[in-house]
Amino acid sequence: MYQKSILPNGIRIVTEELPHFHSVAVGFWLMVGSRDERQEEQGLSHFLEHMAFKGTIRRDALTIAREADQLGGTVNAFTTKENTCFHARVLAEHLPRIIDLLSDLVLNPLYRAEDLERERQVILEEIAAQDDNPEDLVQVQFARHFWKDNPFGWSILGEVEAVSRFRREDLLAYRRTAYRPERLVVAAAGRLTHQELVDLVGPTLENFTNGTPARPRVPVDTHPGVYVLPRDLEQVHVCLGTEGLAADDGRRFTATVLNIILGGNMSSRLVQVVREQLGLAYSIYSFLGFFSDTGILEVCAGVNPKNLPALLEAIRGELRRMKAEPVTSLELKDAQDYLKGSIYLHAEDVEQRMLRLAKNEIHFGRYIPLEEVIEGLLKVTPEDIQTLARELFQGGNWGLALLGPLNGQGSVLLDF
């Protein structure tokens, strides 16, 4: 059963009561991420997330880690382009303790200067690890160039130069701008009651205020083209992408089915053609990202440099085919069955239920039953997919990032 409450300061509390579970998943979702930063603030959202675990008014770092372990579940956090989430999954009997811990992390971090210096090194190592992982780095490079100077394209981890100079005052100033009660959603799913959660979080969160004016987000702007980053690697890593749909776009069901057929699972067209028929790549896939006011559709692969032209031509062929002719009824049914199965299997995971609950509140302001999602997917037709493919798959709208041993290859792909 779904319920929602709004505290006087604007904090939203949403729950899904699932009494047949033994556990509960809780997330404190702040609607702030890397796209909310200014040029000189790149990486601050992620830095704030890290620093929360270094100590609060009531707990030092060891106490936080020990208490999380004592609960026998998981306590973690993550930062995205648009959100920062502190979340946990524990046995239902530990709900009061985990709410106390998560509230403390969100509301009472100290940001001590000595802790900042230690965590700075951790984040710099995280950036170095990203730079050493070509599968990740090619996507970072794609975003940097496709969205260019727009905050939406900046790395969530930040740049080395900026991270190296942040001071405690910078963290506090950004927090005053970004952490706002009306941008906080507390979502919980599992064995709990709605009133139980309200009673636990209300007395603490109702005192959360922020008088600093909210900072509006900068609208996105795309910059199609080819972006080459030479690296001494065995493979060329490819990331091809175009602007997709916003999370609340009514065609999101069509886009989801289109993606599965294109490259979203092992029986998809790209996997079958590029890997199974042509043997050009070990890994190739496509994926979608839905955001508040935009989206992304990307195709990623790794390939031997000598096979790069053939790989690009094969991808181009599949994009053209999806525009030229409707998908088959069998492909459509297989994709819909795959999605239906995935949705119901995820529904057996209490953390996934919490994630859905929060994202639905953030993007739609309401609860969306699983049956409504499945109904939307089953309504998609081959003609819907072809129409959307013709809109999205325009050569002039795409960006292509290439990372590896390169000699200017890749421009051929942008002609669809």
> What are 153's two structure tokens?
């394209």
> What are 341's two structure tokens?
């199965």
Contacts of 281-285 with C-beta under 8 Å, sequence gap 24+, read: 281/307, 281/311, 284/311
Question: Mind giving me the DSSP string for 310-347?
Answer: HHHHHHHHHHHHHHHSPPPHHHHHHHHHHHHHHHHHHT
Q: Say what the pLDDT of residue 149 is.
A: 87
Average per-residue pLDDT for the chain: 95
First to last CA, the chain: 48
Report, in angstroms and rounded to the nearest whole number, the Rg of the chain calculated over CA atoms.
Answer: 23
Instruction: Report, as an integer, the average pLDDT of 310-325.
Output: 97
What pTM does this model have? 0.95
> What are 253's two structure tokens?
């069901």
Q: Say what the pLDDT of residue 410 is.
A: 46
Cβ–Cβ under 8 Å, residues 291 and 246: yes
SS3 percent helix, strand, coil of the chain, rounded to 5, is 50, 20, 30
Taking the C-alpha atoms of residue 173 and residue 48, their distance in angstroms, rounded to an integer, is: 11
Pairing of strands 23-30, 12-17: unpaired
- Cα distances (Å, whole numbers) of residue 95 to 16, 19, 25, 65: 14, 14, 9, 17
Percent of the chain scored above 90 by pLDDT?
95
With bands split at pLDDT 50, 70 and 90, how would you rate the model's confidence at 414?
low
**Domains contained in the chain, CATH given:** 2-205 (3.30.830.10), 225-414 (3.30.830.10)
Q: Say what the pLDDT of residue 160 is.
A: 96
9-60 tens-digit pLDDT: 999 999 999 999 999 999 999 999 999 999 999 999 999 999 999 999 999 9
159-187 tens-digit pLDDT: 999 999 999 999 999 999 999 999 999 99
Taking the C-alpha atoms of residue 238 and residue 308, their distance in angstroms, rounded to an integer, is: 9
Question: Mind giving me the DSSP string for 210-270?
Answer: --SPPPPPPPP----EEEEEE---SSEEEEEEEE---TT-TTHHHHHHHHIIIIISTTSHH
Taking the C-alpha atoms of residue 222 and residue 153, their distance in angstroms, rounded to an integer, is: 9
Instruction: Report, as an integer, the average pLDDT of 314-334.
Output: 97
From the candidates 49, 119, 243, 331, which is the catalytic residue? 49
How would you list the strands of the sheet with 236-243, edge to edge? 225-230, 398-404, 236-243, 295-303, 284-290
Instruction: Report, as an integer, the average pLDDT of 60-64.
Output: 96
354-390 tens-digit pLDDT: 999 999 999 999 999 999 999 999 999 999 999 999 9
The verdict on whether 67 is a catalytic residue reads: no
With bands split at pLDDT 50, 70 and 90, how would you rate the model's confidence at 415?
low
239-271 tens-digit pLDDT: 999 999 999 999 999 999 999 999 999 999 999
> What are 261's two structure tokens?
């057929």
Cβ within 8 Å of residue 346, ≥6 positions away = 352, 356
Cβ–Cβ under 8 Å, residues 262 and 288: no
